[in-house]
Structure 1
Amino acid sequence: MKKHMLLVALAMSVSLSAMSAQTEKLGDTQLKPLPQQTQAALWASRVLSRYHYKAMPLDDAMSEKIFDRYFKSLDGEKLFFTQPDLDQFASARSRLDDAINGENLSVPFAIYNLYQQRFNERISYARELLKTKFDFNVDESYQYDREKADWVKTDAEIKELWRKRVKNDWLRLKLAGKDDKSIRETLDKRYENYLSRSRKLNNEDVFQIFMNAYAMSIEPHTNYLGPRASENFDIAMRLSLEGIGCVLQTRDEYTVVREVVPGSPAALSGKIKVGDRILAVAKDDSSPMTDVLGWRIDDVVALIRGPKDSTVRLDVLPADAGPDGKHVSLSLVRKKISMEEQSAKKSVLEVRDGTAKRRIGVIALPTFYQDFEARRKGDPNFKSATRDVARLLGELKKEKVDNVLIDLRGNGGGSLNEAVELTGLFIDRGPVVQQRNAEGRIEVESDNNPGLAWDGPVGVLINRGSASASEIFAAAIQDYGRGIIIGEPSFGKGTVQQLINLDRFAQGDKARLGELKMTVAQFFRINGGTTQLRGVTPDIKLPVMADSDSFGESSYDNALPWTSIRPATYIPAGELKEIVPLLDKKHEARVSKDKDFQYLLEDINLVKKQRKDNLISLNETVRRKERDAQEARAKLRESRLMVAAVPGGDDPVLVPDPKELLKQQSLVKQAGGKAGAKVAAVKGALRADDGLQADERALSAELDAEKAAKSAKDVLLNEAVHILADEVGLLKTDTRMASRVLPYAVEANK
């Protein structure tokens, strides 16, 4: 055994030495692993191989999986590496386990350094191509999604691939009306920005990519979070941070203010506006100014953030000033900033039902957030999704809504505890979800609080992006018969993750090893099934927008299988078998006549076809014909929406919050009345392809387009609201059905 280990160590040493020699040829600025990173990799491997729900040894077989996933993580579209690049690292394919156990990560860093070299070569070649002339009369096409393609085998093949890629970039701008000089300047600047961003990657980024290749080779939802990623994850969960209240982005090497949070120190100062450029930062009163031009955005953010009530100083170039304009210096005191955009929000929509009006309260919940630290410390006002939704339900009661829709589209989950407590707002008491750990022990998470925040009818709107905690909530509402699930099948993530702080294993107080977000259990519905792989199936199905082959649990090659356990003991809160077919029949009849819904179906079918073809023509005549057809469709829809915007239509009508009424009336007046505002929003949402990337447009234009897209008609939400309005009508006219669907409400009214 000792001899075998010695041979392995010797072979690994020879291999690593060869790789190190090879690395020296790649360039002058080579990234190398830090001591704490090799330590973090070792401790992560020990935790993952022993305590993961699907514990797998770190051996040669796992090494091969890590090797393949690491290359895919670096170059998922296979645009930079060639097969010979992979072949030169073939000796390391089954030895990455030894690299981790031996605390020698020179091989994965050598792979990254080669990637960086290839990246520079490909982009430099792309910039050279801009000096040539393209023939747009040739019939050829470009494969724009190369995730499932083979690695190209020669330099000639990779050059041909990039020729077509650059030609497509050029043609998009040409079709948007740009001349050759403008196109050349735009693309050259774009490719230079690619190089600039790539140069800013550091060893923490590389280490995180490699460790995620390892973690995700075990199971899709296990991740390694470096120190900074860990901090950002914590911020996302508690929806607050300590800073000045600016949302920042990078544009042309400048750090630009994209948004100023209302009520924040930045907003209250009156000295910072959207579009302002931050040139230098001093983290406190005594520190010198640090020039941040050309910095990574997260490095600038880290410098600006700091303890509450501390001071940060900024050197700002106003948005309306030229590059040589006068700077503004200011000091701001950091405060706790709430990320209200990610908090639960409510609205009220009215739908006509004959002579009656049905008022539907909509609560949009982007994530299941909770400030764990504040709750642990006993803060009575800790931030919580459940507390916010409970408050909004109380407000909706006062506004006398007839039904409530919980919109969980795009909600990827969050706190398991929040999912349980949120369910408790709609049931009296009882089990919500079951968990099975790696040892097979099953625990039941229950709502133990008597009473309900809302005893009326409820619906839940989901899509493919609704995952994890969203699925726990939707599944519980469905299993209890408490509400109607509307939408498309959810993501299918039926696993539970726990954060493991690797600093507990650190050798030395100052080491920051990061965290593991590790799968430790699988959750099951109270009916014994699981949402794993299959997701939650809606009671009333809306069009499937996502591609299940590329998005969702079923798209992963190593996802856990679907399985089941014994059901929990629970008493259903309602019976929906009778009402769902009636609602579905009304839904089908309505959408068959709804032009906007039919347009949406056309769009979905078109996208599916394009996805299947996976080719785009590089012939200008063909592309112009396609563009003209697209613009004709957009104009047709625009004229349809202009008609629909006239009062008297069948769309749900937003009932504004009284506090916002004056503000909205002012905005509508500026847009030319209600119809004008609606059409203006749609025009923005239907904007033709201009060939530009987001950071290449004027910031004001980009923000206006985003605002218009948010204001455009939400066809699926409107239909969900109509479905719940139909439910209200049926329940009001059939007391027997109402007693079966809403026993809580009937009991409360006795």
Structure 2
Amino acid sequence: MKKQIFIVALAFAMSAPVAWAQPEKVAAVQMRADPSQAQAALWASKVLARYHYKAMPLDDSLSEKIFDRYFKTLDGEKLYFVQSDIDQFDGVRNKLDDAINNENLTLPFSIYNVYQQRFNQRMTFARELIKGKFDFSTDESFQIDREKAAWPKNEDEARDLWRRRVKNDFLRLKLAGKDDKSIRETLDKRYDNYQTRMRKLNNEDVFQMFMNAYATSIEPHTNYLGPRSADNFDIAMRLSLEGIGAVLQSRDEYTVIREVVAGSPAGLSGKLKPGDRIVGVSQGENSPFVEVLGWRIDDVVQLIRGAKDSIVRLDVLPADAGTDGKHTQVALVRKKISMEEQSAKKSVIDVREGGVKRRIGVISLPTFYLDFDARRRGDKDFKSATRDVARILGELKKEKVDNVLIDLRNNGGGSLIEAIELTGLFIDKGPVVQQRNAEGRIEVESDTNAGLAWDGPVGVLINRGSASASEIFAAAMQDYGRGLIIGEPSFGKGTVQQLLSLDKFAPTDKVRYGELKMTIAQFFRINGGTTQLRGVVPDIKLPVLGDSESFGESSYDNALPWTSIKPANYVPAGDLKELFAPLQKRHDVRIAKDKDFQYLNEDIAEMRKLRKENAISLNETVRRKERDTQEARAKLRDARIAAQSPADDAGTGAEGKDARSKVPVPTKQAKALALKGAARQDDGLQADERNLVAELAAEKAAKNAKDVLLQETAHILADEAGMLKTDTRMASRTMPYMAPTKDIAK
């Protein structure tokens, strides 16, 4: 199957511009569209109206949908606009189609300019508020989620909303132990940074927001990618780029090195470390430095990236130097950088029960990545999720694992090709997914490679964040009876997108129009159903962490409906239904006695309570009581975890020759770590306000924290492996393809 590319030749007559009544209020600093953006919008509209799976004409009706979604994009929490702003533009809500068709984007940019004006007004007001005093003894509250709230009726209501918001920001820092002076300094700097980031937005950002309001008004997974976003999307898919191997972020107008990639030019130089500030960039050995202080992070990244084997020089202010400290200059030769953090990774969890040890091999797959270009060129080392997983399966075979788990939690998808080929590692041959295009034509996509890379039992761990390609793989494994699906219902995205470059319509190579990521088909399971809206329903259910009302396909107001088609012609490899009830029973008994699961359920109940109430008290006494209760509960948990040894940890441990495969388990000597995903004490700060070294240490601790759901999933798969080995008749009924094995106590 090839990467799908439309080659289209469109010849449409351009409409003459028409006049419209421009609203009176405009931003002090005007943002305007480039002519090329107006042209890109027109070409995008022609393609979307003709080739989209749910093709819709760009007319007054769609214009009204775009209008509402654009305002939601700009101010989804209804914090900046007031009702009079909406009313002011209401007379032109059906004119956005004319704006695109007539290549005159003044209207959407005028809306943005008013938003920009309101944003600055709110920030100015917020910074004035922190100079005064707040009364924390009154009984009032702050609404947490305002997405479904009404617009503030007038300026007085908007100011009261922001008074409560700033009061909450102040109280959070106060509860964290900060004094009034430092709180005022922190918040003034925070709101100033908001304004600074707003000033760095350009017309490409505004155009992309508007075009995405258009695209997502048709269907949730259709998007417009501006030229720079298109480049970044391509990098994310192939998991590689040409640069120096440093992760950057903005802090206080500086571009700061957050992470240095091991083995990269930056890492091998030994001259760069986290916290170093890049203040200048030079191309080649002799060109002058371009000062980048105060630049947008993506502009700095563009300067640092470049052709392989070319030289880039950095003017660096070391992390431990003051603002007037001595600079160092570092010359680096750019190389191809692999983004290994997003690659498939393995670990092995050993589960001991009743004197028997079961080894569960875990393959964590964050995305279904594929370097399309390298594959097309015939590069024998092209990056591919399937190739990496196949290699890991070979390693796990040598480590003699009893079961394999594919962890797809929060894997939002990626390449359809990879979903099909990854399924092929676990089945012999056969259909994997069906696609139906806009004309109703159905195609069956199949694995055509004979043989299995792994013929033993398999588990697939999913959650609400598992979407698209993840759902294709999980559904196929379930339909074939090839894998045990564990977790919570998945996202519910049952559509196929295709990248279409709009640059082919540009008048010259120097003009870039960007790309469309456009829905062109709906996929169906081989059993005829679809994952659309409903997702993949697990065989063994774990606690539901996600909120279906705010996250997932069912949360979209214009998602495609669930439907079904005729099943594909396939032969199931096995039938695991006989295992479901006994495994679920063992799971239920185990978690009923598991303190970690009790803590997890407490956290889930607390999150649901907060969602339902959708308000937080601004009374200091009430908040301190809530904080003290949470803190006491957290201390009890941490004390219990710290007191555990690996042997005490419900019979689990981690062993193996490869140290990287170990799953960290808390010990008596180790500091207490939070359960993965558990709520931690609120320090009132935002990520870029914390000390970078401390922030990185906290992230590392969280990453190494005990993963309760993963550990329990390993127990479930250990139970399955034990049942199959001790009951050969059950094994032959449920997994007839699997060679019989004897159970050996290890």
Q: Place the TM-score, normalised by the shorter chain, in its bin.
A: over 0.9
Q: Structure 1: which 5+ runs fail to align? A: 1-7
Query: 1:680 Cα shift?
Result: 4.7
Aligned residue among 723, 726, 742 for 1:730: 723
* Secondary structure, aligned partner of 1:498: strand
- Correspondence list, 1:291-370, <5 A: 291-370=291-370
Aligned residues of 1:433 and 1:526 also touching (Cα < 8 A): yes
Distance in 1 (alpha carbons) for counterparts of 2:587 and 2:381? 42
Distance in 2 (alpha carbons) for counterparts of 1:114 and 1:323? 37
2:681 equivalent in structure 1:
688
Aligned residue among 735, 739, 743 for 1:746: 739
Distance in 2 (alpha carbons) for counterparts of 1:678 and 1:361? 27
In the superposition, relative to structure 1, how do residues 235 and 82 fare at CA in structure 2: closer, same or farther (>3 Å)?
A: same
Distance in 2 (alpha carbons) for counterparts of 1:407 and 1:582? 22
1:13 aligns with 2:19: yes
Distance in 2 (alpha carbons) for counterparts of 1:611 and 1:285? 56
Distance in 1 (alpha carbons) for counterparts of 2:287 and 2:88? 48
1:406 equivalent in structure 2:
406
Query: 1:330 Cα shift?
Result: 1.6
Aligned residues of 1:347 and 1:655 also touching (Cα < 8 A): no
Aligned residues of 2:676 and 2:703 also touching (Cα < 8 A): no
Query: 1:678 Cα shift?
Result: 5.7
- Correspondence list, 1:129-148, <5 A: 129-148=129-148
Distance in 2 (alpha carbons) for counterparts of 1:428 and 1:110? 58
In the superposition, relative to structure 1, how do residues 158 and 572 fare at CA in structure 2: closer, same or farther (>3 Å)?
A: same
Query: 1:651 Cα shift?
Result: 4.8
- Correspondence list, 1:138-537, <5 A: 138-537=138-537
Aligned residues of 1:393 and 1:453 also touching (Cα < 8 A): yes
* Secondary structure, aligned partner of 1:519: strand
Query: 1:132 Cα shift?
Result: 1.1
AA in 2 matched with 1:474:
A
Distance in 1 (alpha carbons) for counterparts of 2:50 and 2:274? 50
In the superposition, relative to structure 1, how do residues 685 and 269 fare at CA in structure 2: closer, same or farther (>3 Å)?
A: farther
Distance in 1 (alpha carbons) for counterparts of 2:187 and 2:659? 46
1:107 equivalent in structure 2:
107
* Secondary structure, aligned partner of 2:212: helix
Aligned residues of 2:646 and 2:652 also touching (Cα < 8 A): no
Query: 1:702 Cα shift?
Result: 0.4
- Correspondence list, 1:551-562, <5 A: 551-562=551-562
Q: Residue by residue, what CA displacement relative to the aligned partner does 1:71-118 show, whole Å, maximum 9, x if unpaired?
A: 000001000001101111112200100000000000100111111110
Query: 1:748 Cα shift?
Result: 11
Query: 1:30 Cα shift?
Result: 1.3
Aligned residues of 1:681 and 1:711 also touching (Cα < 8 A): no
Distance in 2 (alpha carbons) for counterparts of 1:404 and 1:184? 53
Aligned residues of 2:524 and 2:565 also touching (Cα < 8 A): yes
* Secondary structure, aligned partner of 1:349: strand
Aligned residues of 1:353 and 1:729 also touching (Cα < 8 A): no
Aligned residues of 2:638 and 2:674 also touching (Cα < 8 A): no
* Secondary structure, aligned partner of 1:647: helix
Query: 1:279 Cα shift?
Result: 0.4
Aligned residues of 1:685 and 1:712 also touching (Cα < 8 A): no
2:27 equivalent in structure 1:
26
Aligned residues of 2:675 and 2:708 also touching (Cα < 8 A): no
How many equivalent pairs are there? 728
Query: 1:744 Cα shift?
Result: 1.8
Q: Structure 2: which 5+ runs fail to align? A: 1-14
AA in 1 matched with 2:697:
D
Aligned residues of 1:350 and 1:360 also touching (Cα < 8 A): yes
Distance in 2 (alpha carbons) for counterparts of 1:708 and 1:693? 18
Q: Residue by residue, what CA displacement relative to the aligned partner does 1:501-556 show, whole Å, maximum 9, x if unpaired?
A: 00111122311000000000000000000000000000000011011000000000
Distance in 1 (alpha carbons) for counterparts of 2:42 and 2:315? 43
Query: What's the TM-score once normalised by structure 2's chain length?
Result: 0.95
Aligned residues of 2:219 and 2:558 also touching (Cα < 8 A): yes
Distance in 1 (alpha carbons) for counterparts of 2:132 and 2:16? 52
* Secondary structure, aligned partner of 2:91: helix
Distance in 2 (alpha carbons) for counterparts of 1:648 and 1:602? 22
Q: Residue by residue, what CA displacement relative to the aligned partner does 1:693-739 show, whole Å, maximum 9, x if unpaired?
A: 11111000100111111111111111100000000110111001111
Distance in 2 (alpha carbons) for counterparts of 1:456 and 1:577? 17
Distance in 2 (alpha carbons) for counterparts of 1:539 and 1:138? 50
AA in 1 matched with 2:717:
L
1:599 equivalent in structure 2:
599
| Deviates most, 32-41 or 631-640 | 631-640
AA in 2 matched with 1:533:
L
Distance in 1 (alpha carbons) for counterparts of 2:657 and 2:365? 18
In the superposition, relative to structure 1, how do residues 511 and 339 fare at CA in structure 2: closer, same or farther (>3 Å)?
A: same
Query: 1:641 Cα shift?
Result: 1.1
Aligned residues of 1:423 and 1:476 also touching (Cα < 8 A): yes
* Secondary structure, aligned partner of 1:387: helix
Query: 1:741 Cα shift?
Result: 2.2
Distance in 1 (alpha carbons) for counterparts of 2:200 and 2:475? 44
1:4 equivalent in structure 2:
none
Distance in 1 (alpha carbons) for counterparts of 2:652 and 2:120? 52
2:52 equivalent in structure 1:
52
| Deviates most, 683-692 or 519-528 | 683-692
1:701 aligns with 2:694: yes
Distance in 2 (alpha carbons) for counterparts of 1:656 and 1:733? 25
Distance in 1 (alpha carbons) for counterparts of 2:337 and 2:459? 32
* Secondary structure, aligned partner of 1:743: coil
In the superposition, relative to structure 1, how do residues 678 and 385 fare at CA in structure 2: closer, same or farther (>3 Å)?
A: farther
Query: 1:674 Cα shift?
Result: 3.5
In the superposition, relative to structure 1, how do residues 130 and 417 fare at CA in structure 2: closer, same or farther (>3 Å)?
A: same
Query: 1:648 Cα shift?
Result: 3.5
Would you tell me which structure has more helix in proportion to its own residues? Answer: 1
AA in 2 matched with 1:444:
V
- Correspondence list, 1:539-550, <5 A: 539-550=539-550
Query: 1:591 Cα shift?
Result: 0.6
Distance in 2 (alpha carbons) for counterparts of 1:346 and 1:743? 27
Query: 1:587 Cα shift?
Result: 0.5
Distance in 1 (alpha carbons) for counterparts of 2:537 and 2:329? 56
* Secondary structure, aligned partner of 2:654: strand
* Secondary structure, aligned partner of 1:745: coil
Distance in 1 (alpha carbons) for counterparts of 2:710 and 2:675? 16
Query: What's the TM-score once normalised by structure 1's chain length?
Result: 0.95
Q: Residue by residue, what CA displacement relative to the aligned partner does 1:436-474 show, whole Å, maximum 9, x if unpaired?
A: 000000000000100000000000000000000000000
Q: Residue by residue, what CA displacement relative to the aligned partner does 1:230-267 show, whole Å, maximum 9, x if unpaired?
A: 00000000000000000000111110000000000001
AA in 2 matched with 1:554:
S
* Secondary structure, aligned partner of 1:475: helix
AA in 2 matched with 1:713:
K
